Structure 1
Amino acid sequence: MKALIFAAGKGTRLKPFTDHHPKALAKVNGIPLLERNIKYLKSFGITDFVINIHHFGNQIVEFLKENNNFECHVELSDEADELLETGGGLIFARKFLDHGEDFLIMNADILTNININNFVEYHKNIKDFATLAVSDRDSSRKLLFNDEMVLRGWLNVQTGEQRLAEFNKGFKPLAFSGVHCINPVIFEKIKRTGKFSIMEEYLDLMQTERIHGFVHDSVLIDVGRPESIIEAEKHFK
């Protein structure tokens, strides 16, 4: 199985580090996020990676070269011309991923110990084109699921704004974990082009398609701010 790691973002919340470096090279206990996530996925047998780059992308290229790609096969999806966000980045990387096999997507600034084998098995059993890892934790935005764990809506916790596929019948609000398992048939379903968020596409597709959530209670830290590095260092040695 291939994994696409999103490492292109500007990481503005991690300033001043990201004034001179890509967020994927921010360190937790001395180890860059990108290295941690490659080794984490490698521990589940994944050795084939696509990494998208933009912001200080040359530093990621050099980092991988210095470390011999961590003995993995790595392809770079270079968004040098324009940062395309998660949806646009996925479409831009299509040539590396559209080969009939399911693949993982993971944000470079997420640290977790989700059991990837269990996640992939769940995805394959339900045969969806997209399965999203979710958990019950604090988040300003939540995805809403019905009793069968099918995506039916989105909620902004702070403003109360909702986007729903149907009347909210007590849907479960869960936070997205930044980890997806995808079947390449998704490339035929996505309508947007250019720069866009994959979540926007999921919220459109939930009207007509079944997108499941995989609930986990694993450690998950969004290492987006300097203070979250401190939190991450308590959990990831």
Structure 2
Amino acid sequence: MKALIFSAGKGERMRPLTLHTPKPLLVAGGKPLIVWHLQRLAAAGFSEVVINTSWLGDQFASALGDGARWGLRLHFIDEGGTPLETGGGILNALPVLGDAPFLVINGDIWTDLDLAALPHAPHGDAHLVLVDNPVQHPRGDFILHGDGRVSDQGDAARLTYAGIGVYRPAIIDGWREVIGDTPGASAHPPQFGLTPLLRHAMARGRVSGQHHRGRWTDVGTPERLAQLDAQLQSRHG
């Protein structure tokens, strides 16, 4: 199974730190956020990783090389000056990802999740990792049912999508009908988010999930980056 690390965002909430450094290359605990992912992917048995880039994208290859130091082969996909968002990013990367299920992980999170424990093939179109709702996102995103299904409808308590999931390429099938005439859909290449496609798949019972109760941080602000850095320095110092 290949992995895709989303790394194309502009990191506007992280400014001024991201004025000269893309967010996944910001350092916490002595190493860039994306390096934590690469190390965990290598430890979990992955061999090929796709990294989509846009903002300051030329810095990734310079910082990471070809991945050989971790026993990985890295594929960099430049999305141009405007990021294609999550759905468009997957669509654009499919020629490299291939026809098999693949792992997606956001480049701006940190977690102790054992990636090797994730299913290599979801029963439906996607298998999502969900976490307890952080302070900055108290309402959560989706409902995890007792049978492992994930849905978007109902009054049950919600959990937050961790930015980690195993997807089949079929998640993108029919994206134009699902997305409709939204801004960016007619661009070349198209720009659209993944969430509407996930909700569409959930409505058909084709999304499963699991609750990760370990450590997880959405590194969305300079303050949260500083907190994570202090925690990691203390833990590994």
> Displacement, 1:68?
4.8
CA deviation vs aligned residue, 1:127-183 (integer Å, no higher than 9, x gap): 222011002232243212333232221xxxxxxxxxx3xxx2x42311110000012
> Displacement, 1:67?
6.6
Which one of the candidate residues 193, 198, 209 is aligned to 1:197?
193
| CA distance 1:146–1:70, shift in 2 (3 Å) | closer
Q: Which runs of 5+ in 1 are unaligned?
A: 154-163
Partner of 2:216: 220
> Displacement, 1:113?
1.1
Q: Distance in 2 between matches of 1:97 and 1:224?
A: 27
Q: 1:64 touches 1:70 (CA, 8 Å); kept in 2?
A: no
Q: Secondary structure at the match of 2:96?
A: helix
Partner of 2:104: 105
| CA distance 1:187–1:142, shift in 2 (3 Å) | closer
How big is the alpha-carbon RMSD for the aligned residues of Structure 1 and Structure 2?
A: 2.0
CA deviation vs aligned residue, 1:192-232 (integer Å, no higher than 9, x gap): 44212111221233222421121111100111111112222
| CA distance 1:231–1:120, shift in 2 (3 Å) | farther
Q: Secondary structure at the match of 1:93?
A: helix
Q: Secondary structure at the match of 2:87?
A: helix
Q: 2:149 touches 2:205 (CA, 8 Å); kept in 1?
A: no
Which one of the candidate residues 183, 188, 197 is aligned to 2:168?
183
> Displacement, 1:118?
2.0
Q: Secondary structure at the match of 1:120?
A: coil
Please state if 1:208 is matched with 2:204.
yes
Please state if 1:171 is matched with 2:156.
yes
Q: 2:14 touches 2:221 (CA, 8 Å); kept in 1?
A: yes
> Displacement, 1:24?
1.1
Q: Percent same amino acid among aligned pairs?
A: 28
CA deviation vs aligned residue, 1:2-44 (integer Å, no higher than 9, x gap): 1000011001111111111111110002201111111111111
Please state if 1:5 is matched with 2:1.
no
Q: 1:135 touches 1:217 (CA, 8 Å); kept in 2?
A: yes
Number of residues of Structure 1 aligned to a counterpart in Structure 2: 219
Partner of 1:32: 32
- What letter corresponds to residue 221 of structure 2 in structure 1? R
More strand by share: 1
TM value normalised by structure 2: 0.84
Q: Distance in 2 between matches of 1:147 and 1:37?
A: 29
Q: Which runs of 5+ in 2 are unaligned?
A: 180-184
